[in-house]
Amino acid sequence: MVWARVAQHRFRVLVDTGAVRSLIAPAVASSLGLRLVSTGRIVGVTGNVVTVPFVAVMGVGLGQVELPPFQAGILDLGPLYLGIQAILGVNAFAGRRLQIDFPAGRLYLLQ
């Protein structure tokens, strides 16, 4: 889990390298005024399939790095009990190399 920023807002997010698509909590999508772009299906780890709206997300920063624009499905993340507002899946890291140093608790984003 890391802190991400969009404009002047900071959010706690989960980096999930096993997730094809990113997700964002409904309250965060609403507070940022994110534009609805489509609907799509999300398959959870249990195999449940849910159809969710997708929004365009731009200007997300991790440390000194800004991520390219990506789409995120709107989904209530509260049932995960992780205190996160978004899940960044691999689509959020397009064109970047992601390195995780678990012992040091660090995340590196490289081009």
pTM of the model: 0.92
Contacts of 2 (CB under 8 A, 6+ apart): 12, 13, 15, 62, 107
Mean pLDDT of residues grouped by 10 in the chain (111 residues)?
Answer: 91 94 96 95 86 96 92 94 95 91 90 76
How many Å apart are CA 93 and CA 13, to the nearest integer?
14
Amino acid at residue number 25: A
Q: Which two tokens stand for residue 37?
A: 């772009």
